[in-house]
Structure formats: structure tokens, C-alpha cells
Amino acid sequence: MDNALFSRRRAERFAQLLDEANGGRRHHVRSRSDEELTPLVPLGRRLAADPPEAPMDPEFRTGLRAMLVATAVREGIGASAAAPTEKASAGRGSLLPAVTARRARARGAILVGIAAGAVAVSGISAASENAVPGDALYGMKRGTERAQLALTSSEINRGQLLLDFARTRLAEASSLGGDRTGYRAVLDDMDADTRQGVRLLTGAATQRSDAAALDLVDAFVERQRRALDGLRDGGSRADRERTARSLALLEAVGVRTDALRAAIACGRPATTTSDHLGPVPGTCP
């Protein structure tokens, strides 16, 4: 679970930030995740005050229960603490059971927080899945995406998630109809997600000298290009020019992945420089 959506350290720090925002004791610590987690605190407070009313998928409920039970067994939550040895008892008295109990409660609180977060994210996703810019739930939809991204620790998983968001932005652009200003703004967000996702995946490919991550990028480019081609003939001249810029970005991504594949194959995956698409491939002899 540490490598998936819910990293324990991120969950603990997020719980501390929520506690502080609700008037709890201030924790005099800083975390590298604070920059990503702090913007999610208002969303967490809103969820607590007004939880989303959305049906839960039975498969999700079953999977969540299995995950929580497995975590509880692994962490020893709910199990009675082992009796301290005679030597430990003589030196520390009843301190060990008290500390163990506090740790068990803390682990239980984290587990409950993870479960609540998973249920909340699932509920919001169900309620705002089809929201587009201008809808009341669109802010919630984007907040859920930020939460997913902040709680994802692997660079490859984060890159895939950002490319998924880029696909979502394209679907939103397709459904905007006559709102052409909104169309161009959504494509701006789509291209930003594309660049970030590609940068993470190309970086992972070069660090590992493994082209597997580039396969994910190529599959995204092929599917995204087909969908954008369907929008190229619609709208005003400004809209067509804006669509063409997104297509040009995808073309540049395809050129970059081809060059990186060749560089990895000849043992020179990257130079010391990078740009908006990630590492610049080295030159093969």
C-alpha cells in the first residue's frame, strides 16, 4: 500500500494538517509532501462538513474491506500486545503496554483515515465524473484529481495518472459544445497534464535504461491524436489553431520517444539537460 495511492507517511502528515486546520495541537514538523498536501486540506474539511451523497460500487466496498482487513492483520491493529518480559517489566513498569496501546490507536486512526479518504474519493468521483467546466461539481472533480496525484508516490504511476487526466480534459473539450472560450482553456490544461506526465515517464525510462515506460506514452499519443483529429475541423479559426497546437505537442512527444528508444538501445539514454518533455536523449555513435 505504501507504493500505491496511500503512502503511510503522506497519510500521517495529511492527518496532522487536517488536525491543525480544525484547531488541534500544532505539529512543529515539515514534510516534503506539504506543498502537495496543503491545498487538499480545505477539500478535506469540506468533505467532513458535507459528505457526498453517491452510491458506492459493491465491488469497491468488497475490495476496500479486504484491503483494510489485510492492513489490520499486518499492522497488528486490534491484537492484544504481548506481555513484556520480566526484565522489561522491572525496568519500565507499565510504560510499555501504554506506549503499545497508543501506537495501536495511532495505527487504527491512520487506517480509519485511509478508509474514509478512499470512500470520499470514490463518492466524489461517482458524483462528479461527468462534470465539465462551469458545472457545480467541476471544482470537486479537479480537487479529487489533485488528491489522487498527491497520494501517488511512484513516478510511473504519477505519469500515467497525469496522462489519464489529459484524456479526461479532451473528453471535456469534446462535450463543451458552443463554449469555445472554455474549449481553449481545457486544451491548455490538457497540454499541461500531457507535458508533466510525459516528463515523468521519459525520466523513469532514462533512469532505468528501460523503454517500457515509453510504451505507455506511445499508446497515449496514438489514442489522443485520433480523438483530437476529430475536433480539428470544428469551431472557429482560433479553435482550429488551438487544436493544431495540441496536435503539434503530441507530434513532438512521438519524436522524443523515438529518439529515447534509440538512445537507450545504444547505451546513451540521456544527456545532462532536459526540457518540457523530460530528458534530452544522448547521441548514438
Same domain for 102 and 242, yes or no, is no
**Would you call 271 helix, strand, or coil by DSSP?**
coil
Amino acid in the structure at residue 81:
A
pLDDT at 4: 40
Same domain for 149 and 159, yes or no, is no
Same domain for 139 and 7, yes or no, is yes
Distance CA 91, CA 259 (A): 65
Same domain for 43 and 127, yes or no, is yes
Q: What's the number of domains the chain is made of?
A: 2
Residue pLDDT tens, the chain, 285 long: 444 444 667 777 777 777 777 776 666 667 767 777 777 777 777 766 665 555 555 555 565 566 666 666 665 555 554 444 444 445 555 555 555 555 555 555 555 555 555 555 555 555 567 788 888 788 888 888 888 888 888 999 999 999 999 999 999 998 886 666 688 899 999 999 999 999 999 999 999 999 999 999 999 999 999 999 988 877 778 888 999 999 999 999 999 999 999 999 988 877 788 999 999 998 887
Neighbours of 244 (CB within 10 A): 12
pLDDT at 3: 43
Same domain for 127 and 27, yes or no, is yes
Same domain for 130 and 196, yes or no, is no
**Would you call 211 helix, strand, or coil by DSSP?**
coil
Distance CA 18, CA 113 (A): 11
| Domain boundary residue, one of 101, 120, 153 | 153
Distance CA 261, CA 123 (A): 41
Distance CA 183, CA 161 (A): 22
Find the Cα–Cα–Cα–Cα dihedral 243, 247, 252, 256, rounded to 10°.
130
Is 226:189 a contact under the CB 8 Å cutoff?
A: no
Distance CA 121, CA 60 (A): 12
Q: Which three cell numbers stand for residue 128?
A: 462528479
Question: Radius of gyration over alpha carbons of the chain, in Å?
Answer: 23
Same domain for 16 and 148, yes or no, is yes
**Would you call 279 helix, strand, or coil by DSSP?**
strand
* C-alpha angle 272-155-120 in degrees, rounded to nearest 5: 155
Spatial CB neighbours of 19, under 8 Å, sequence gap ≥ 6: 25, 27
Range of the domain at 133: 1-153
Phi, psi of 13, rounded to the nearest 5 degrees? -65, -40
| Domain boundary residue, one of 137, 153, 169 | 153
pLDDT at 75: 56
Same domain for 145 and 187, yes or no, is no
Same domain for 60 and 115, yes or no, is yes
| Domain boundary residue, one of 119, 153, 187 | 153
Phi, psi of 240, rounded to the nearest 5 degrees? -65, -40
Distance CA 246, CA 228 (A): 8
- Residue 95 to residues 7, 75, 78, Cα–Cα distance (Å): 29, 21, 19
Same domain for 165 and 187, yes or no, is yes
Same domain for 163 and 123, yes or no, is no
pLDDT at 81: 45
Same domain for 137 and 205, yes or no, is no
Residue of 194, 195, 276, 187 whose CA lies nearest to 238: 187
pLDDT at 150: 86
Distance CA 258, CA 246 (A): 19
How big is the chain, counted in residues?
A: 285
pLDDT at 84: 47
